[in-house]
Amino acid sequence: MTISNSNSPIARREALQDRLEQLTRMVEIRAVEERIQKLFAEGHVRGSTHLANGQEAVSVGIARSIDPDDIVTCTYRGHGHALALGVTPAAVLGEICGRVIGCAGGLGGSMHLVEPSVGLLPTAAIIGAGLPIACGAAMAARARGNDRIAVSIFGDGSANIGAFHESLNFAAIRKLPVVFVCENNLYGEYTRIQLSTPVEDIAVRAGSYNMPSDIVDGQDSDKVAEAMAKAVARARRGEGPTLVEMKTYRYSGHSRSDPATYRPAGELDAWLKRDPIDILANRLVGENVLAEGGLDKLKADVRDAVEAATAEVLESPGPALDEIMSHVGAYSAGGDQRWNFWSK
Amino acid sequence: MTISNSNSPIARREALQDRLEQLTRMVEIRAVEERIQKLFAEGHVRGSTHLANGQEAVSVGIARSIDPDDIVTCTYRGHGHALALGVTPAAVLGEICGRVIGCAGGLGGSMHLVEPSVGLLPTAAIIGAGLPIACGAAMAARARGNDRIAVSIFGDGSANIGAFHESLNFAAIRKLPVVFVCENNLYGEYTRIQLSTPVEDIAVRAGSYNMPSDIVDGQDSDKVAEAMAKAVARARRGEGPTLVEMKTYRYSGHSRSDPATYRPAGELDAWLKRDPIDILANRLVGENVLAEGGLDKLKADVRDAVEAATAEVLESPGPALDEIMSHVGAYSAGGDQRWNFWSK
Amino acid sequence: MAKIWIRQAVLRALDDAMKDDPTVIMMGEDIAAAGGPFKVTEGLLAAHGPDRVIDTPISEMAFMGAAVGAAVCGMKPVVEMMFIEFIGVALDQLTTQAATMRYLSRGQLTAPLVVRASAGAGQGFGCQHSQMLDHWFRGTPGLKVAVTSNARTTYGLLRSAIEDPDPVVILEPRILYAEREEYEFDSSYRIPLGKAEIVRAGTDATIVTCGSMVRVALAAAESSKANIEVIDLLTLWPWDRKTVAESVGRTGRLVTLEEAPAGSGWGGDVVSHIAVEKFGSLKAPPHRITLPDAPVPYNGTLEARFLPSPAYVAEQVEALVSTNKSPAPWWRTAA
Amino acid sequence: MAKIWIRQAVLRALDDAMKDDPTVIMMGEDIAAAGGPFKVTEGLLAAHGPDRVIDTPISEMAFMGAAVGAAVCGMKPVVEMMFIEFIGVALDQLTTQAATMRYLSRGQLTAPLVVRASAGAGQGFGCQHSQMLDHWFRGTPGLKVAVTSNARTTYGLLRSAIEDPDPVVILEPRILYAEREEYEFDSSYRIPLGKAEIVRAGTDATIVTCGSMVRVALAAAESSKANIEVIDLLTLWPWDRKTVAESVGRTGRLVTLEEAPAGSGWGGDVVSHIAVEKFGSLKAPPHRITLPDAPVPYNGTLEARFLPSPAYVAEQVEALVSTNKSPAPWWRTAA
Ligand SMILES: Cc1ncc(C[n+]2csc(CCOP(=O)(O)OP(=O)(O)O)c2C)c(N)n1
Ligand SMILES: Cc1ncc(C[n+]2csc(CCOP(=O)(O)OP(=O)(O)O)c2C)c(N)n1
Ligand SMILES: [Mg+2]
Ligand SMILES: [Mg+2]
């Protein structure tokens, strides 16, 4: 369990090839989300924050299926994805608490996580914004003669916005190496998908673009990884984009203060019975990777690590006042500090 | 052939129930388009103008299938639709020549035709803009407890813009009484549909919204009317929207100065063999509505009428200078002169 | 007089407008069943039904455009943009379609819709959820823009906007929703669009401001040695040149307090107009207090510095009054 | 020196930039196979291939956003918005995503893209295809905006924009494309963003203008009794305060000539800045010559009246110089 303690996003990402680490990371995501909830109550978090507990298998299943070189765009509901991709708990928690230690130095907040070294572009707070950006990243990869791909992660509700349609069409006609991942957690904010979307499966929309699609059990990280591997391979072969729909569920409300009273009785309980952490843990016991009952120990260890990261965060200062003006344009930045995706 | 001489848009519209008038109107549209081309060469037309010759059957087929009370939104390629809906040749030509006699008094120009009395909202110069507006018109009709419907007409290229997707989804989830009509003339500007759109039939996109669709021979006005009647009836019954795709072709280039060299050899000729005017004329001969060879006489008569309308237009003055400031807001309008769609 | 949350003033204005006019309908994301992300539409669905209070898919272009179509056809749609930034995916429908409807029909058709949006900074929503963005709308021929500043102006402006025969944008500073204040509803109360209000009389300088900065200006005036007049501009377009010019005529000094960077703030237009109208008669150069030219920071300390505070405003105005010279903003010296 | 069409200056700038920098790519509707709706990209496809000169579907959000993604990942995308109004369906990607990329990554990532668009009135394209709309972008932290005015500035600004490490909007007055003028290409020629140019020296008044209005100002100056200095502002944000202030310091009078209604024109910011900087030393009130607050009319006579003509500008400036008072615009008296 030492792997999780690495502070290098790249090392954390590479570690995900390890079976146990896959489980550990899902447990870590859950623990971080729970800690954020608490930090919110303790007054350390401003604005809003969008937890993704229940959706950990999607995050880890994606992250283990793509290279650190590949580019990822995702939404404000991005804590889990960021952690899975390799961003450290301290960098995630730090950003959410507005500290220098945060991945955007406390300037961005919960909706704007970023880590170029593992391909994570700043997560966007505007619905649909990440999809065309992923298309552009894919264009760049192709122009560089490189087999990198781009992944864009968004929700079921986001499949009703114009950018979804334009992006899928654009990627299809240009055969771009993009994987569009729709996390269908059945709700967009407080609205159940049936009330906003006249089809049950977002995946059917791929037909409008002559694009292959897949519908995946998003609670099973192995199934997620399997579907991703297929779509990623297709993209790398230059055959174009795929729309992959992950059927999943968020245990919490939409954002911090939402008690999610709009959910029908019993729905949450049914999903809890298929908890992604339990599903993988049971399988790992079968695989002899995890000892019977080892999950509890794992959880405790991870919780300790997250607690330590939290302590580190709470000791970290906020950004200096002159950070306000330091990253507006090249003129304000004191020289070019840009990340070069192609230097590796 | 006296019907076409009526100057009332409503009377012109109602006349379309007559078989011969259906043909006459198509001939009129063709003649007006040709006259516009000439007016352009003569220096009477500013900016750009988008002819729809070859697509007359779509215009007339739609107009005869809906009531003057129904609302229509369409694009800058709207001369034919305006004439079919009832706008007079003088009002269309007048607008394109920027004269007071024009349907927007010369303030709008070729891309902005309008005639509230027959339900034509100002045609929009921005791709996709008319689709959500039609949804809103349909909402208004329903709110008024009325069985009016809305029709939105747009091109194949417009089916790639975000507003298309959002509007079809919105109309479907609200079961709005809208008919979405896609005039698939195989090109968006100078780009063949295969280069912008990975599916051959726009109609398949209805599947993304669980919406019925239809693919229609757009050169046959009776087929157009038949498909429209079905979709309109469904909308009036409160069962929701339909996407109707008209397979058609524009004989001219995209806009005034486009020689359309991007078209494969023989394509235009093949379409000319299925000219919508000829198709209907032949059928009307069979129906004993038109005498053998009567089409030539009809064309000559219509050309004379269009010439007369053109003369009237060219004698009409331009708008007065104070029109610049007279229609910006209620404060500038000298009282409320608004059209009440519900007074009828 | 009862204390209410300002969000209740929004709710009350919407509810009263729906009661008075059956053509008023509402559209937006989660405004109906959930009562609105900021709870400003709570209870409207129950009171007016799902045909009038409408939850939409996440499709700003569709529902913004549907509002245009419904407005043209005789309804009075009130659209909620949850955060004003979201109209960045649908601006065309408002500024290019709705605003030209009257013109393109020579006065026969209009689009009398209202776009209401929460706007502004101060709560840690980050740089994509914290702007005012009135510059996207201001000066668009055919479109009006107003900003609310408390319960009374919220009620008065919203009712006027809904009754206006042309399209209107109402920006509601989000930070005010959860403020409580004394306010007695009067359902006939209206604030005419285009009229500013002098909310504090003074003799040394006129602060022209709007939105949540009105509170800041008033607090600055309270604490300041200078005797400051404060104008709540209320409508940013078309704005009330007469009230501002008369006030500046009395005080001799104009200060704009804007929640926007200088490059896009409404103060440019105000200063440029008053500089002409009062040329030669001002005691000091007109002075603009704006945000720095930077995105809104998330961190609380930075965001608090980013926004003009009462102390900073008082300091700036006092410097202007005492020296008759424009004081520098903090961020030039800080960087 | 050879005579060229101004559209050729666009083409030459794009072609040279693509030759010099293999990361430069182009996207837009019909820019490749068809050579562009205004023929400003003719031949680029043949010269640089379909991977670099890209025809897009009618999907402004997709290709504007793709430009952001490609820019972040090391390309230099140049996007054509055929008419600037079309960005009304895609503004978010430019002002909310591209402009915050550097900030949200603390300087690690930027979106060095260029949006080129044809803009402005004068050719009868009607009110939805004839605006400048610089106010949608101006003052957005992280974004620059410039306007071309002839072949030389077109070349110089475009090259600089493509080399800029941050996002830039270049507005090209459409009416100029078909103008011919003498111009010698120098592929090393650049106009630094943020720098204005004095294009005519004078002593009585400074006209600050940009775009196609530069020609109007120069013609007005030629014909006027007043001795007029003309500044081509070139970059609207950030604009060159120094050059303007120095000029006005010499002439004592500031006139802005803007192709925009007063409520959204850039002149507000210019006047408000200069009114402060030159407080007490101006001979006359700053004066703005703008468009009326109305949509652009289609009819040619009306559109010609709608736009400031050289005669009108000369008349306005002469009135200002001779009376030291701001003359009224024609449309108040006309209506
Ligand atoms: C353009 C835009 N419209 C609306 C919102 C507000 N909003 C934030 S999250 C959300 C729901 C998104 O639902 P979904 O796509 O299913 O993602 P989830 O939150 O379930 O992960 C909405 C409407 C936004 N951020 N941007
Ligand atoms: C948002 C937007 N993007 C681009 C344009 C420019 N434009 C005008 S017509 C056109 C082609 C439209 O093609 P299609 O929808 O097939 O209609 P058609 O012209 O064939 O009738 C384009 C790209 C526009 N008017 N609006
Ligand atoms: Mg969801
Ligand atoms: Mg077409």
pLDDT tens digits, B158-167: 999 999 999 9
Domain boundaries, chain A: 9-317
What sign results for the dihedral spanned by CA atoms B318, B320, B325, B329? negative
User: What pLDDT is recorded for position A7?
Assistant: 81
User: What atom of ligand 1 comes closest to residue A189's alpha carbon?
Assistant: 11
Q: What is the pLDDT of residues C200-222, one digit of tens each?
A: 999 999 999 999 999 999 999 99
- Write the DSSP symbol of residue A66: S
Give yes or no for residue A339 having a pLDDT over 80: no
Give the side-chain half-sphere CA count within 13 A for B287: 12
Give me the domain span that covers residue C95: 3-182
Domain boundary among C150, C182, C214: C182
What spacing in Å lies between the alpha carbon of A31 and ligand 2's midpoint?
51
Residue D201 and residue D125 share a domain: no
Q: What is the pLDDT of residues D294-333, one digit of tens each?
A: 999 999 999 999 999 999 999 999 999 999 999 999 986 4
Q: What is the pLDDT of residues B106-120, one digit of tens each?
A: 999 999 999 999 999
Residue C162 and residue C14 share a domain: yes
Neighbours of ion ligand 3 (CB under 5 A): A 155-157, 185, 187-188
D189, part of any domain:
no
Which chain A positions have a beta carbon within 8 Å of D164's beta carbon?
A: 330
Whole-number mean pLDDT of chain B? 95
Q: Both tokens of residue B167?
A: 């509007």
Which chain C positions have a beta carbon within 8 Å of D252's beta carbon?
A: none
Measured CA to CA, the distance from residue B204 to residue B223 in angstroms comes to 19
Q: Which residues pair with A13 in a beta bridge?
A: none
Residue D316 and residue D272 share a domain: yes
Q: What is the pLDDT of residues D45-81, one digit of tens each?
A: 999 999 999 999 999 999 999 999 999 999 999 999 9
Measured CA to CA, the distance from residue B133 to residue A182 in angstroms comes to 29
User: What atom of ligand 2 comes closest to residue B158's alpha carbon?
Assistant: 15
Distances (CA, A) of C17 to C11, C43, D327: 10, 14, 43
D190, part of any domain:
no
Q: What is the pLDDT of residues A182-206, one digit of tens each?
A: 999 999 999 999 999 999 999 999 9
Give the SS3 label for residue C193: coil
Ligand 1 site, CB within 6 A: A 77, 125-127, 154-158, 183, 185, 187-189, 254; C 29, 58, 60, 82, 86, 89
User: What atom of ligand 1 comes closest to residue A185's alpha carbon?
Assistant: 20
Tell whether ipTM is more than 0.95. yes
User: Would you give the distance in Å from CA C183 to the centre of its chain?
Assistant: 19
Name the nearest CA neighbour of B230 among B247, B216, B209, B210.
B216
What spacing in Å lies between the alpha carbon of B120 and ligand 2's midpoint?
20
Chain A and chain D share a number of CB contacts under 8 A equal to 158
Domain boundary among C141, C157, C182: C182
User: What pLDDT is recorded for position D334?
Assistant: 36
Nearest CA owner, ligand 2 atom 25: B126
- CA distance to partner chain A, nearest, from residue C127 (Å): 7
The DSSP H or E segment spanning B300 is helix B294-315
Q: What is the pLDDT of residues B18-38, one digit of tens each?
A: 999 999 999 999 999 999 999
Residue C93 and residue C205 share a domain: no
**For a pLDDT cut of 90, what percent of chain D falls above it?**
98
Name the nearest CA neighbour of A65 among A84, A39, A41.
A84
Put simply, the answer to whether D272 touches C286 (Cβ < 8 Å) is: yes
For chain B, report the end-to-end CA distance as a whole number of angstroms: 28
User: What pLDDT is recorded for position A340?
Assistant: 76
**For a pLDDT cut of 90, what percent of chain B falls above it?**
91
User: What pLDDT is recorded for position B145?
Assistant: 86
Residue D173 and residue D70 share a domain: yes
Residue C214 and residue C170 share a domain: no
The residue written with tokens 């605003």 in the block is: C99
Going through chain B in order, the beta strands assigned E by DSSP cover 71-73, 150-155, 178-184, 187-188, 191-192, 213-217, 242-247
What spacing in Å lies between the alpha carbon of B188 and ligand 4's midpoint?
4
Put simply, the answer to whether B162 touches A160 (Cβ < 8 Å) is: no
Put simply, the answer to whether C106 touches B104 (Cβ < 8 Å) is: yes
Confirm or reject contact between D101 and chain A (CB < 8 A): yes
Give yes or no for residue A144 having a pLDDT over 90: no
Measured CA to CA, the distance from residue B115 to residue B103 in angstroms comes to 7
Asked if A175 and A240 count as a contact pair (C-beta separation under 8 A), the reply is: yes
Q: What is the pLDDT of residues C10-38, one digit of tens each?
A: 999 999 999 999 999 999 999 999 999 99
User: What pLDDT is recorded for position A2?
Assistant: 43
pLDDT band at residue D116 under the 50/70/90 scheme: very high
Confirm or reject contact between A108 and chain C (CB < 8 A): yes
pLDDT band at residue A338 under the 50/70/90 scheme: low
Measured CA to CA, the distance from residue C267 to residue C277 in angstroms comes to 15
User: What pLDDT is recorded for position C194?
Assistant: 97
Q: Both tokens of residue C199?
A: 């909310």
User: What pLDDT is recorded for position A329?
Assistant: 93
Residue B185 near ligand 2, beta carbon < 6 Å: yes
As to burial, measured by CB atoms within 10 angstroms (0-12 exposed, 13-18 middle, 19+ buried), residue A285 is middle
Q: What is the pLDDT of residues D221-265, one digit of tens each?
A: 999 999 999 999 999 999 999 999 999 999 999 999 999 999 999
What's the domain count of chain C? 2
User: What pLDDT is recorded for position B332?
Assistant: 79
Give the side-chain half-sphere CA count within 13 A for A26: 28
Asked if C91 and C64 count as a contact pair (C-beta separation under 8 A), the reply is: no
Q: What are chain D's partners, defined as 3 or more CB pairs within 8 angstroms?
A: A, B, C
Measured CA to CA, the distance from residue D282 to residue C214 in angstroms comes to 32
Residue D125 near ligand 2, beta carbon < 6 Å: no
Architecture field, domain B9-317: 3-Layer(aba) Sandwich (3.40)
What spacing in Å lies between the alpha carbon of A157 and ligand 3's midpoint?
5
Residue D233 and residue D167 share a domain: no
Residue C24 and residue C160 share a domain: yes
Confirm or reject contact between B132 and chain D (CB < 8 A): no
The residue written with tokens 């008349």 in the block is: D315
What spacing in Å lies between the alpha carbon of B249 and ligand 4's midpoint?
8
Nearest CA owner, ligand 1 atom 19: A188
Q: Which long-range contacts (CB under 8 A, 24 or more apart) does D243-248 make?
A: D243/D195, D243/D196, D243/D197, D243/D198, D244/D196, D244/D206, D244/D208, D244/D270, D244/D274, D245/D273, D245/D274, D245/D277, D245/D278, D247/D198, D247/D206, D248/D206, D248/D274, D248/D278, D248/D282
Which of B120, B139, B144, B343 should we substitute to test contact with C (largest number of C Cβ atoms within 10 Å)? B139
Give the SS3 label for residue B108: coil
Give the SS3 label for residue B220: coil
User: What pLDDT is recorded for position B331?
Assistant: 82
Asked if C244 and C269 count as a contact pair (C-beta separation under 8 A), the reply is: no
Give yes or no for residue B3 having a pLDDT over 60: no
Q: What is the pLDDT of residues C300-333, one digit of tens each?
A: 999 999 999 999 999 999 999 999 999 999 986 4
**Percent helix, percent strand, percent coil in chain B, to nearest 5:** 50, 10, 40
Whole-number mean pLDDT of chain A? 95
C34, part of any domain:
yes
Give yes or no for residue B1 having a pLDDT over 60: no
For chain D, report the end-to-end CA distance as a whole number of angstroms: 48
Residue D211 and residue D137 share a domain: no
pLDDT band at residue A316 under the 50/70/90 scheme: very high
Residue D148 and residue D22 share a domain: yes
Which chain D positions have a beta carbon within 8 Å of C99's beta carbon?
A: 295
D70, part of any domain:
yes
User: What pLDDT is recorded for position A331?
Assistant: 82
User: Would you give the distance in Å from CA C77 to the centre of its chain?
Assistant: 19
User: What pLDDT is recorded for position A259?
Assistant: 87
Residue D99 and residue D238 share a domain: no
Nearest CA owner, ligand 1 atom 18: A155
Domain boundary among D182, D215, D250: D182
Q: Both tokens of residue A105?
A: 């130095």
DSSP string, C195-210: --EEEE--SSEEEEE-
Confirm or reject contact between D76 and chain A (CB < 8 A): no
Residue C217 and residue C79 share a domain: no
Name the nearest CA neighbour of A106 among C307, C131, C298.
C298
Q: How would you classify the pairing of strands D53-55 and D24-28?
A: parallel
Neighbours of ion ligand 4 (CB under 5 A): B 155-157, 185, 187-188
Q: CA A128, A133, A137 angle in degrees (round to 5)?
A: 150
DSSP string, A175-207: T--EEEEEEE-SEETTEEHHHH-SSS-GGGGGG
Type of residue found at B269: D
User: What pLDDT is recorded for position A337?
Assistant: 61
Residues of chain C with pLDDT below 70 are: 332-335
Confirm or reject contact between A318 and chain D (CB < 8 A): no
- Find, in chain B, the residue whose alpha carbon is nearest to that of A160: B166
Q: Which residues contact A303 (CB under 8 A, 6 or more apart)?
A: A31
Whether D129 is a known active-site residue: answer: yes
Measured CA to CA, the distance from residue C135 to residue D145 in angstroms comes to 15
Which chain B positions have a beta carbon within 8 Å of D335's beta carbon?
A: 322, 325-326, 332
Which chain D positions have a beta carbon within 8 Å of C287's beta carbon?
A: 276
- CA distance to partner chain A, nearest, from residue D25 (Å): 9
Of C264, C265, C275, the CB nearest to D140: C264
